[in-house]
Structure 1
Amino acid sequence: MRNKPGRIVGILVSIVGLLAVVGILAGIKAGQIGQLINMGKEGAKAGPPPESVSSGKVDEQTWEGTLQATGSVTSLKGVSLSNDAAGIVTRINFESGKSVKAGQVLVELDTSVERGQLAQARARQELALSVANRTRALVSSGSIAQAQLDTDEAGLKGSNTEIETLEAQIQRKIVKAPFSGRLGIRLVNLGQYLSPGTALTVLEAIEQVYVDFTLPQQRLPDVSVGMPVRLSATASPSADADAGAGGSSWEGTIAAVDPSVDSNTRQIKLRASLNNKELKLRPGMYVNVTVVLPNKGKVVSVPSTSVVHASYGESVFVIEDKKPDSPGASKSPTGQPIKIARQQFVRKGEARGDYVAILDGVKPGQEVVTAGAFKLRNGAPIVVNNDVQAKPQLDPHPENH
């Protein structure tokens, strides 16, 4: 019983020590929480870190009036070559894809029988001519009657007609190029028997080509024959073997406007004519057509990279100076002034080159974000850095690497 007070004192001392340790730990933790709260207040006062972006000016430009369409290339002249008469191929004088001149012999069929008959006909013609000449001399001297001369003259004409017929039959078995152009793939071989009308190859005159395209009927008053057009293709074959892929462009004029409107599509058909001396355009190719109208007008435009596309609309971020009384830092750690990006919804118009027309929402002279807009929100702090920036162009011609 005498040890009981000492045991109680020990327990009390332990409890007091434990409470002291807990109090010390609570004080340390409270200090850390206070530091974090102060850091949060300082961070809120400084605001979020600024985003680095590139900028450009809203510009007022003079754009020529244009109409856009898609077209298909057709050759100035194009035919599928075939034989007129039946026979066996004895000679082929062309290779696939080669250029030929008008009148050049391409394919010959067997004409041995017709040539033999022609030789006989010419021999009969010589005899008929000799008889006719003697008869003419005798008639002039009165030795024989005029009726005999008429008979011999008719025999001579019959011989001439027979020769012309055989020569025509021989020509029907010789296929020639009707005009200068480029041949397609050869479809026949030596020794092959051909029925009349068998396809041999195709011939296209492509040094000058047509491009057929359509426009809505509402545009009929705006177009006329002779108006300039520009055509472009994302890729085109080249006459040179080492030609690389890439876009190409050509210029031409409207050659014809269809007098009627398609009753199903309500579109008008047009045809443009252009030179193709480099042979880069081939029949059947798809091209973009731009009809250049005579009128020009002022448009407000921004670089196309400025426009942010979203399901609820299209917008740009206008760069504005930060107000002195607004929260947050006024300069970045590198000393650059911090500005504010204000989201402005716009109504977009026609795109041309690296620019897009803005019908409503911004004014000329305003500065907008051109790179980095995808990471911004309305009122976000930004730092403008235009050290590395591609200059937008109305008619860009990027190098093909």
Structure 2
Amino acid sequence: MKQGIYAACLWGLLMGLFGCKEDAKETAAATAPSGPRTFNVDGFVVKHRSLDQKINTTGNLIANETVQVRPERAGKLITLNFQESSSVKSGQLLAKIEDSDLLAQRSRLLVNLDLAQKEVARGKELLKIQGISAEEMDRLDNRVDDINAEIKIIDIQIEKSKILAPFSGVLGLRQVSQGAYVTPNDIIIDLQQVNPIKLEFDVPERYISQVKTNQPLEFTVVGSTRTFQAKVYAIGTEIAPTTRTFKVRATATNNEGLLKPGQFAKVNLVTGRDDKAILVPTDAIIPVLEGKQVYIARNGRAIASLVETGERLANEVELLEGVQVGDTIITSGILSLSDGVLIKLNKVVESKNTQL
């Protein structure tokens, strides 16, 4: 009797467990997805924008004119007529070499010249009465000419004893001391003209047709929050084979002396304006092995498209290829997407035609 009761209980327990399993299968079947996953994303509708075409590069400031001031003749430096880091005018006396020996030679030549001129005067009187020959008279004249030539040579050497500023500018640091013996190989001081000041920078060769003389540009330097203005005045004629760039030079006014030769500069050169530019949010760009790509929302799917980028702004990137006006670019959840997956657009933002 007891065995029958135990058998009935066991059978009921087995039937209960089997029924729970069937219910679980039915519940799982009811909650299982019915197809591929759909991703919820946001989009950005592409429209034409107005965009300044800019070249962003870096460069260095250089002096408008620069020279290492050296003596033209050897000798003792007897005068230093300047202060370091001071401004000087063109032709201003900076230093002087000992010239007392040259002055003494000049005095002697002047005495000889006076005597030679007197001999010429007497010779002319004698020539009238045939007291001397014409050849002797020529010798006396030539003597005067020779002395005059020697005086000119001495005058040139005396003038070379004066070390003058070749142009107006700012002096650097003195390299010699008063009383030193100097030669034409010795540097007295550096002189630079820094107003106006030059800006030299390299531009990629793809922009060679867009850079013109007289183009305005803006630049900034380290240590200043100001934006300075300059204008292109010269364009290099060669492309560097290693960097594939060419050199450009511009000039900027430097009335306040804030700009110094050698300073590093960030350059922004506007080459034109594109009223049909395409810009998308920076977050929509994905780096891939082939370059860069975006996802375009098309017929409920995410379509991968390789793109070529151009100008970079604060939060946007110009696209040159791979996207057309009217396309909806996916801007959220892009790292979870793959080409052709199903998507659902939640929020769509339209591009505003603002000028940049």
TM-score range, shorter chain: 0.5 to 0.7
Deviations 1:26-53 (A, max 9, x none): xxxxxxxxxxxxxxxxxxxxxxxxxxxx
Secondary structure of the structure 2 residue equivalent to 1:97: coil
Aligned to 1:135: 123
Aligned to 2:192: 204
- Between 1:201-210 and 1:288-297, the stretch displaced more is 288-297
From 316, 321, 325, the equivalent of 1:356 is 316
Contact 1:227 1:291 in 2 (8 A): no
Contact 2:54 2:311 in 1 (8 A): no
Read off the aligned partner of 1:284 and give its amino acid letter.
G
Aligned to 1:258: 236
Aligned to 2:83: 95
Counterpart CA distance in 2 for 1:213 and 1:358 is 24
Contact 1:235 1:248 in 2 (8 A): no
Secondary structure of the structure 2 residue equivalent to 1:154: helix
Aligned to 1:235: 222
Contact 2:220 2:267 in 1 (8 A): no
Counterpart CA distance in 1 for 2:278 and 2:198 is 35
Quote how far apart the aligned CAs of 1:260 are: 2.1
Aligned to 1:248: 227
Contact 1:84 1:197 in 2 (8 A): no
Counterpart CA distance in 2 for 1:286 and 1:176 is 32
Counterpart CA distance in 1 for 2:86 and 2:47 is 52
Q: 1:309 to 1:259 in 2, by over 3 A?
A: closer
Aligned to 1:124: 112
Counterpart CA distance in 1 for 2:115 and 2:48 is 91
Deviations 1:215-249 (A, max 9, x none): 2222222223x24131322335xxxxxxxx43331
- Which runs of structure 2 are paired with 1:49-88 in the superposition (5 Å)? 61-88=49-76
Q: 1:362 to 1:294 in 2, by over 3 A?
A: closer
Deviations 1:254-311 (A, max 9, x none): x22222222222222222233333332222221122222133334466898xx59999
Contact 2:221 2:264 in 1 (8 A): no
Aligned to 1:276: 254
Aligned to 2:140: 152
Quote how far apart the aligned CAs of 1:87 are: 1.5
Gaps of 5+ in 1: 1-57, 237-244, 316-346, 370-392, 396-401
Contact 2:222 2:263 in 1 (8 A): no
Deviations 1:37-89 (A, max 9, x none): xxxxxxxxxxxxxxxxxxxxx99752221112211222222111111222111
TM value normalised by structure 2 = 0.66
Q: 1:355 to 1:142 in 2, by over 3 A?
A: farther
Q: 1:93 to 1:394 in 2, by over 3 A?
A: farther
Contact 1:229 1:289 in 2 (8 A): no
Read off the aligned partner of 1:231 and give its amino acid letter.
E
Q: 1:216 to 1:145 in 2, by over 3 A?
A: same
Contact 1:355 1:394 in 2 (8 A): no
Q: Does 1:290 align with 2:295?
A: no
Read off the aligned partner of 2:222 and give its amino acid letter.
A
Deviations 1:350-389 (A, max 9, x none): 344x55346479989x9x99xxxxxxxxxxxxxxxxxxxx
Gaps of 5+ in 2: 1-45, 295-306, 333-353
Counterpart CA distance in 2 for 1:261 and 1:300 is 30
Quote how far apart the aligned CAs of 1:166 are: 1.5
TM value normalised by structure 1 = 0.59
Secondary structure of the structure 2 residue equivalent to 1:135: helix
Q: 1:62 to 1:311 in 2, by over 3 A?
A: closer
Counterpart CA distance in 2 for 1:302 and 1:91 is 68
